[in-house]
Amino acid sequence: MEKDEEFDHATAKLDSDEEGDELAQDWSQMAKVTVSQNVIPKRGEKDFEPDGTNVQELMLFRAKKAMFDSLSGAIRGSVVKNLVKAYYVPEKHMAVVPHPKGTFMHTMGRVDSSGCCWLEVYEFVYLAERGTVTPYWQNSGREDDEFDVPLSVEDTYSLFKSQSELDEFFVYAHLKRLGFIVSSINQNVPHWSSYLEVSSITGEQRVYRYFTSLFRLIPTIPHFSIYDPYHFYFRRYTSSGQIYRSLNLLIPSYSAPRTVQELCNENADSYQETTDLKAWKISFNVWKPRTNFRKKSPGLPDFQIVVYNKNESGSSFPTYPEIRNIFQRLNYQFDFLTDGNMNDVQVANKIPQLNNEYKITKKEDESPRTKENKKNCKTYPPHIQQLRRLKKGYRSFVLAVMDDGLISFVRLSESDFGSENVWYEPNAFTKKSSKSQRPKRRPKKRSEKTPE
């Protein structure tokens, strides 16, 4: 009998998202996240609609009180002893901390030769807002310059020059609050080398690449193709696989680069075609929270973020060519290169000059968990590995969608169905696995459709 897909859907809990599907949380719970106060027990759920009862009225009053009490009680600043002064420098549109101290230095700002720490505006506002630094206006050229003009939070926000600067700040702060290490892309660039250096491709490779791409893009249609009305009078097919193979030559498709080599080649190829596109700004590099982070040699980031304000006039979701253009400019720790399951690391290691950075970060990342993952990957049967590839995709970036103060994150990944054949061939599974590399015990996580 057919499975009742739809029914399952209707009753399934819809995509629950702990990040506040519904607005406005129970502020009495604030106590749980602050340090000092006692934990107040959770009150009842929200109601369907106002019902005119006093009880409801009272509960709304309490909810609002809890919220505004928390807001009013939120004093920011520091005692004189711990004061870290940061000065906004209008000419540079940056802020400077003349006597920097504190842990924020590990991941933020840049220290110049005189020992001053320079902050981007978004870093400045973020640190001021959480009370880590105390913001001032740098008074240059005024007579009474023994007095520093202190700034309020409102003042610091007025330093943002455009909506997009502000949106980037919101995304930055959102990720920072969760402990991610975030830095803007323009910063730091000279500090690490990309493994996607274009220059390293030889002319020979280029020509080879050109030919192979020709073959891939322009489908080779056999003279007497399967689509010819008389085809089947001459040709016999002895397996469904053969029929599929004839059919799947027709539609050309983009194939995703899976190795360092392929990544390099792709970059070399597609430089020209990107001229009349909107080249989206990749705003941030993001590293997962870690304690051994070094600003000077951060290694490749774990994610890269593009910010998109959906309500701005003239803005629209990236088109396919724009998405591809972003892919080609990505430079992060591509997990499909490290995933033992996806492909062999050997290929990557053959290109040492491209690969320095990659190797370094790989070593650092060789946590027990990663190793375990790799082991697990190896034991998956081919069709599960295939499904994993399809579901995970290859290069990807995170699109931070700004909707008037609410941020949604979307991960867009390059996928490649054109390079995978999922057709069912009876006995194919058992034949292949009996030859070699058969897993010792059949993995428990088999798809329901294992052939009988």
Partner 1 sequence: MSKYLSNSKRYKYPLPIHPLDNLPQLLPHNPVSWLYWLYCYISSTNLLAKKIDIEVTNGHRITVPGEEDMLYLWNNGFFGTARLSRSEPTWKARTLARLGIDESFNALEKVTEKRRHQRLAFKKERRKFEAIRLDLRKKGVLESEILDKERQFLRELRDQELILDSEDYQVREEDDELLLNDGIVNLEVLELMPVEAIFLTFALPVLRPSVAEIAELLLGPKPTYTEIHNLITQYVAYHHYRSHGWCVRSGIKFGCEYLLYKRGPPFQHAEFAVMVLDYKDTPDYTWYSGIARVIGGAKKSLILCYVEPLLQKEEIMSLWDQKDFEQVFASHRVGEILYRRWVPGKNRD
Partner 2 sequence: MDDKVPISLVQAPGSSGVPLVFSIAAIKRLRELGVAGILTGTLPAATQQNAFLGIPLRLMIEEAAWLVEEGFAYLVCGGKLLEDAVGNLGAEDVAMMQKKAEESFEEQRAFKRQQHIEKLQRLGITKQDGGEEDSRLLEASLFVETKNESTLLKHKEAQFDIAVLQKKIVDNLLSHGKNHNDYLMYRALRSQGYFLSPGARFGGRFIAYPGDPLRYHSHLTVQACLDYRHEPLDLLQLVSGGRLGTGVKKLWVVGGVKDDEEIEFFSVEWAGFG
- Give least dist CB 13 to partner 2, A: 8
- Give least dist CB 59 to partner 2, A: 6
CA–CA gap between residue 292 and residue 218 (Å, rounded): 49
CA–CA gap between residue 387 and residue 420 (Å, rounded): 9
* Residue closer to partner 1, measured from CB, 135 or 339: 339
* Residue closer to partner 2, measured from CB, 169 or 327: 169
- Give least dist CB 225 to partner 1, A: 6
Map residue 64 onto helix, strand or coil. Answer: helix
* Residue closer to partner 1, measured from CB, 190 or 229: 229
Q: Please choose which of partner 2, partner 1, none residue 411 contacts, taking the beta carbon within 5 to 8 angstroms, the exact cut-off set by kind.
A: partner 1
Q: Please choose which of partner 1, partner 2, none residue 207 contacts, taking the beta carbon within 5 to 8 angstroms, the exact cut-off set by kind.
A: none
Residue type, 214: L
CA–CA gap between residue 277 and residue 275 (Å, rounded): 6
User: What is the token pair recorded at 98?
Assistant: 């003349």
- Give least dist CB 14 to partner 1, A: 4
Report the b/e string of 415-442 with b at 16+ CB within 10 A.
bbeeeeeeeeeeeebeeeeeeeeeeeee
Q: Please choose which of partner 2, partner 1, none residue 94 contacts, taking the beta carbon within 5 to 8 angstroms, the exact cut-off set by kind.
A: none
Among left, alpha and beta (phi > 0; psi -120 to 50; other), residue 260 is alpha
Q: Please choose which of partner 1, partner 2, none residue 78 contacts, taking the beta carbon within 5 to 8 angstroms, the exact cut-off set by kind.
A: partner 2
Nearest-CA neighbor of 286 among 194, 397, 367, 370? Answer: 397
Say which residue the tokens 């080398």 belong to. 193
- Give least dist CB 406 to partner 2, A: 5
* Residue closer to partner 1, measured from CB, 19 or 154: 19
Q: What torsion, rounded to 10 degrees, do the Cα atoms 179, 180, 181, 182 define? A: -120
Q: Please choose which of partner 2, partner 1, none residue 144 contacts, taking the beta carbon within 5 to 8 angstroms, the exact cut-off set by kind.
A: partner 2
Q: Please choose which of partner 2, partner 1, none residue 244 contacts, taking the beta carbon within 5 to 8 angstroms, the exact cut-off set by kind.
A: partner 1
- Give least dist CB 152 to partner 2, A: 4
Q: Please choose which of partner 2, partner 1, none residue 308 contacts, taking the beta carbon within 5 to 8 angstroms, the exact cut-off set by kind.
A: partner 1
- Give least dist CB 180 to partner 1, A: 7
* Residue closer to partner 2, measured from CB, 159 or 326: 159
Contacts of residue 195, defined as CB under 8 A and 6 or more positions apart, other chains included, come to 260, 263, 331, 354, 355, 356, 357, 358
Residue 12: alpha-carbon gap to chain centroid: 27
* Residue closer to partner 1, measured from CB, 178 or 189: 178
Say which residue the tokens 């640190």 belong to. 127
* Residue closer to partner 1, measured from CB, 94 or 384: 384
